[in-house]
Amino acid sequence: MGFRRLDAVVISIVVMSGAGAFACSTNDGAAEALGNSESALRDPARQACVTSKALQRGALGHTDDADTDDTAASDSVDHGQQIFSDRKLHGLDGNGRSCADCHMVSDSFQLSPANAKARYDALQACRTIDPDADDPLFRPVDADDGDSDFSNLTQNGLVPIKFDLPANIKLVDPASCKTAGVPAPCATSATYSVTSETSVRVWRSTPSVFNVANTGPDNHAPLWARGPNNGGGYQLDARVDNLENQALGAFVGHAQVQNTPPASMLTDVAAYENTLFTTATTPASDLEIQGAAVFQRACSTCHNGPGLSTPGPAAPLAIPHFHDITVACPRPTDPANRWSYAVCAPSIARNARTYEISFADGFKMRRTSDDPGRALLTGFVFSAAPPAPGGTCAHPPCGAPILDDWQKFDVSGLHGVSKTAPYFHNNSAATLEDVVIHYEEFFKRISAINPPPALPAILTTDGVNRDRPNVPSERAALVAYLNTL
């Protein structure tokens, strides 16, 4: 008794924030199923309650209020789908949240800022007449900002992920910056004190689980020098080795289950997620065909393989598995204006913290970032670039910045990318055009910091010319092609 056909569920929501106006419609033509009575239409607060329920049902992928019965599933995939959308999680004693509350079926299995805000606005308006109204998306464990305004979720679509700090990394006290009259986040000056915090929360997007079967561990060579999962994995930093453990982490960390899910439950969720695919189209227009050629030249060195998530080929490029594409905030700037990244929005820039990194010889270095990436898993950061020939590293280890763990993330898959805006780990690119522009500037920066005669493989297709980067004149074609994936 599964409900695998997702195309039977179409929900359209219009929310006019701040105006108290909410409208809902469903493809089943049964307005009364949403409680959309004449009196509700006359009462914005009552209609907000209707909208709140509709948004929550849309997240689950259906429009009725029936309880999920995970004993009625006919096979592992059906059972997994029902668990994915089950807010009660019978026997696990969770907090009322399902996988689909954050990976919304109606939002291409992700969570966009627009949908987070729509759910929040509808809930708050509904609570003016029903103080007990609830939406499990807004659980304090990973949704509020410490002051319960949920602004990181509703403005940016970001949720906090907690990490224990590596032994060699500490947080600089933001209060000491304010005392010194310096705007947060702290500058990297060594004059500010560190805190006693042993963990940190970083704010990350909720990736879609569409096409997840084509991503994850791929053991591309050369393998990353450090674990965990140096051949790739799940989550943005590849810290999880398989979908079963990803589901377990979500049940514990997001649904706050008090009882351990049985292995069969995790297996069934993974089985269901492995059926979720989008449909690509073959480039047909001249513009799309042109864009495909640009992609092959400029992008496929990192976005390769079945999921467009594998660096490669290994030879002759030997592209590392994990990357810093300089989308963390704050971003590098160039006084010479050789490149110019988009400035981070204040709502995202505020998530940056300053970290103090200690080295074996007692040297300390400070860096500011909204997310240090895999460095939070390993603590491995180079103190400086490699010394010149015949020189020595003042504070080991030294090395090329592309090869330590600071701000490194796994390569994201691109299938269905047109449906999953915004983009990057911090949702800092609103559109695919913004993404393409970012990479134009990324290549400019790589070229600027590698002046001739240096010619890294990422800049050249023939070992002679700097011909790999995508350029502004190709922007429309590349965006057109990305929309076909």
Helices 263-273 and 76-84 sit at what angle, rounded to 10 degrees?
Answer: 90
Q: What per-residue confidence (pLDDT) applies to 312? A: 72
Query: What separation, in Å, do the N-terminal and C-terminal C-alpha atoms of the chain show?
Result: 32
Look at residue 383 and tell me if it is in a domain. Answer: no
Strand-pairing partners, residue 163, are 200
- What lies within 8 Å, CB to CB, of 104 at 6+ separation is 58, 59, 110, 111, 115
In the chain, what's the furthest Cα-to-Cα distance? 82
The CATH number linked to 413 is 1.10.760
Q: Which helix (H) or strand (E) holds 366?
A: strand 364-369
Instruction: Give the span between the Cα atoms of 206 and 112, in whole angstroms.
Output: 8
Q: Quick one: pLDDT at residue 211?
A: 97
Q: How do 199-205 and 158-164 pair as beta strands?
A: antiparallel
Distances (CA, A) of 144 to 51, 96, 120, 157: 22, 16, 11, 11
Q: Which pLDDT belongs to residue 54?
A: 96
389-407 burial: b if 16+ Cβ within 10 Å, else e: eeeeeeeeebbeeebbbbb
**Cβ within 8 Å of residue 8, ≥6 positions away:** none
Q: Is 379 left (phi over 0), alpha (psi -120 to 50) or beta?
A: left
- Encode the chain (485 residues) as per-residue pLDDT tens digits: 343 434 333 333 333 333 333 433 333 333 333 445 555 555 999 999 999 999 999 999 975 554 455 555 569 999 999 999 999 999 999 999 999 999 999 999 999 999 999 999 999 999 999 999 999 999 999 887 776 789 999 999 999 999 999 999 999 987 766 555 555 555 555 567 899 999 999 999 999 999 999 999 988 878 899 999 999 999 999 999 999 999 999 999 999 999 999 999 999 999 999 999 999 999 999 999 999 999 999 999 999 999 999 887 644 566 788 999 999 999 999 999 999 999 999 999 999 999 999 999 999 999 999 999 999 999 999 999 999 999 999 999 999 999 999 999 999 999 999 999 999 999 999 999 999 999 999 999 999 999 999 999 899 999 999 999 999 999 999 999 999 99
User: What distance in Å separates the CA atoms of residue 202 and residue 329, rounded to the nearest whole number?
Assistant: 12
CA 325 to CA 317: how far, in whole Å?
A: 17
CA gap 149, 262 in Å, rounded:
35
What is the C-alpha to C-alpha distance for residues 327 and 349, in angstroms, rounded to an integer? 11
- Give burial (CB, 10 Å; 0-12/13-18/19+) of 20: middle
Cβ pair 379, 167 in contact under 8 A:
yes
CA distance 358 to 165: 12
Amino acid at 159: V
Number of folded domains in the chain?
Answer: 1
Q: 424 in a domain, yes or no?
A: yes
- Residue 213 has which token pair? 């079967």
Q: Considering the domain boundaries, does residue 439 fall inside one?
A: yes
Query: Quick check: pTM over 0.95?
Result: no
Q: CA dist 358 to 50, 108, 482, Å? A: 54, 42, 42
| CA–CA distances in Å: residue 84 to residues 105, 236, 251, 255, 279 | 10, 20, 10, 11, 22
CB 168 within 8 A of CB 358: yes
Q: Is residue 459 part of a domain?
A: yes
* DSSP secondary structure code for residue 427 in this structure: T
Q: Which residue, among 418, 451, 416, 450, has the nearest Cα to 436 in the 3D structure?
A: 418
- For residue 297, tell me if it sits in a domain: yes
Question: Which range of residues forms the domain containing residue 402?
Answer: 286-345+396-482
Q: Are 224 and 411 in contact (CB under 8 A)?
A: no
Residue 21: helix, strand or coil by DSSP?
Answer: strand
Distances (CA, A) of 183 to 62, 86, 364, 479: 47, 44, 22, 37
Residue 192: per-residue pLDDT: 74
Alpha-helix residue ranges (DSSP H) falling in 150-237: 151-156, 174-179
* 458 in Cβ contact with 302 (< 8 Å): no
How many angstroms separate the CA atoms of 475 and 313, rounded?
A: 25
